[in-house]
Amino acid sequence: MGYEVEKTEDEWRKELSPAEYQVLRKAGTEAPYKGEYTDTETEGVYSCRACGSELFRSTEKFHSHCGWPSFYDPARSEAVELIRDNSHGMVRTEVRCAKCGSHLGHVFEGEGYPTPTDQRYCINSISLKLEPAAPTEPKDA
């Protein structure tokens, strides 16, 4: 599949750190409970670290205690691409950025979390960049 953002592997290697490249371009996984956004509660927008495309919002983030940031829905359904993943002796659904094809994580269903959807987008922190929401001005009393 062709993506809106296409670069050579050398271009990606120059733009991403070795750890970012391993996860985003080689479908690696960061260690659980080590990611920058695992327990973050900051309000804002989570974008693809590789291309900047908006992927998730803090309003859809929840604590799943799985070791990675979890979201119950992407910001827009067309923001992510879902691909059947048969690696590691499992059948899973890989989540990629629809704009550049970078690996983000996996989505799971039927786990019983108390969220509006029956899905858990388990996303590597290193695949994301959080843009915090602008602080709101306090109202005068």
Catalytic site positions: 122
What residue type is 16 in one-letter code?
L
User: What is the rounded CA–CA span in Å between residue 42 and residue 45?
Assistant: 9
Burial 45-63 (b: 16+ CB within 10 A, else e): bbbbbbbebebbbbebbee
**Cα end-to-end span (Å), the chain:** 56
- Beta partners for residue 84, in sequence order: 93
Spatial neighbors of 59 by CB under 8 A, at least 6 apart, are: 43
User: What is the rounded CA–CA span in Å between residue 29 and residue 86?
Assistant: 15
